[in-house]
Structure 1
Amino acid sequence: MQKIKNIIFDYGNVIFEIDFRIAQNALAQLGIPDVDTFFGHKGHNNLFDLLETGAITTAEFRDGIRSAAQKNGLSDQEIDAAWNSLLIGVKPQTQDVLLQVKEKYRTFLLSNTNQIHFDYIMQYLQDEFQVPDNSHLFEKAYYSHEMKLRKPHVEIFQQVLQENNLEPAETLFIDDSPQHLVGAKAAGLHTLLMTENPANLGSFLKNNGINF
């Protein structure tokens, strides 16, 4: 990939390990029926899209979970614990790789996330690595709930390109979700499907021609 000058990274399961099955089990324990349809890697209830684009508040999201589970007595803490259960963590070597890549490429983060996960992850980074956020790893970090847009919509990619004067033909987008690559391709980006555990990000990049 000799033409690549810029890399846009997804966060979940590219950098930060997540496990949808754990969250599915936790949501099922809350009483959510047909949880595979309600919340899956390749499809989910619109409640999650609304949360990830900041179209509903965290309180409205929690009420949506209570309604789906038909349990009005579920506490905020119970819901947040189930929702955050998919967040596993990030390895120190993965962050080291990102710092090395940043020295050779303009790097950006583009994550579909939400205020509940965002707050949890920021606290995790402070506790584990004594850093306030991800800003030291990238030129700029973009989060869907702040942008009011989410992947795979082409507009979210176009915004990142335009704000940073990036040439699509010189820009690579890496994500673990095939459906998100569709929007990136529509914006003219090169794309790469992450097929490794995030702990192996360094070798994955080198095996795909990203040298650092």
Structure 2
Amino acid sequence: MPTIDKKIKNIIFDYGNVIFKIDFERTQKAFESLGINNVESFFSHKQHHTIFNDFETGKINANEFRDGVRKICERPDLTDQQIDRTWNSLLIGVEEGNHDLLLRLKDKYRTFLLSNINEIHLDFINKYLKTEFNLSGNEGFFEKVYYSHLVGKRKPNKEIFEQVLEENNLIKEETLFIDDSPQHLKTAADLGINTYLMTYPDTIQKLFKDL
């Protein structure tokens, strides 16, 4: 496990499989049960149907997303609850100790959250955080939070990285971006941001164990 360069003053965190555990295979199986064919091209870690991009950038709302799933599945009988349950099956939870680590890191670095997310997932996560940790959201762990569907931009497009850098006056050479998606890291690296690919069994607790 590498050490963090001493020049790093800012850390931008992805959320899924960096802070909050997710499982793509669970959701693929759930979509298959709804009648989705070719689920690997419909929804996976590396590629997915355009409906997900539209949902993650706020171009469509939750109701439009659900109607889109019904149309793709050719299942007009699906209820909102069935679709939400299928979509939220991706979400597992926060590993014990991650929140404490984020608070310690916030004292040492300027920290930010940059997540490709959507209305249904964020609602589920906020309810989870309230139930499990009595938290109103993730805002207390970071200087600023960027959710793709609220800012209208998503990774790996460079515009979302440029916004984070410019709005917070971050020097790219002093900034580290941690994500589990190589395509997201490539854009950040092309802009001159330091990057770290989080892959199982890596965790942020292992990465920062000497803090």
Are 1:17 and 1:197, in contact at CA under 8 Å, matched by a contact in 2? no
Match of 1:202 among 183, 201, 205: 205
The residue correspondences of 1:68-79 to structure 2 (distance < 5 A) are 68-79=72-83
Match of 1:95 in 2: 99
Please name the residue that 2:145 is paired with.
141
Q: Secondary structure of the equivalent of 1:92?
A: coil
Consecutive unaligned residues of structure 2, counting only runs of 5 or more, are none
- Cα-to-partner distance string for 1:22-78 (whole Å, 9 max, x where unaligned): 000001111111111100000000000000000011111111111111111100000
Q: Secondary structure at the match of 2:97?
A: helix
Match of 2:134 among 130, 154, 160: 130
1:85 matches 2:95: no
Map 1:20-39 → 2, pairs under 5 A: 20-39=24-43
User: Which residue identity lines up with residue 87 of structure 2 in the other structure?
Assistant: W
Query: When the two structures are aligned, how many residues end up with a matched partner?
Result: 207
Name stretches of at least 5 consecutive residues in structure 1 with no aligned partner: none
d(CA) in 1 for partners of 2:200 and 2:98? 12
Higher mean C-alpha displacement, 185-194 vs 5-14: 185-194
* Alpha-carbon contact 1:172-1:189 (below 8 Å) kept: yes
Asked if residue 162 in structure 1 is aligned to residue 166 in structure 2, the reply is yes
Please give the root-mean-square deviation of Cα atoms over the aligned residues, in Å: 1.1
1:185 maps onto 2:165 in alignment: no
Residue 164 (structure 1) shift = 0.6
Aligned 8 A contact 1:14 1:197 in 2: no
Aligned to 2:69: 65
TM-score relative to the length of structure 1: 0.95
Alpha-carbon shift at residue 197 of structure 1 (Å): 4.7
Runs of 4+ in 1 over 3 A off after TM superposition: none
CA deviation vs aligned residue, 1:68-91 (integer Å, no higher than 9, x gap): 111111000000000000100002
% identity of equivalent residues: 55
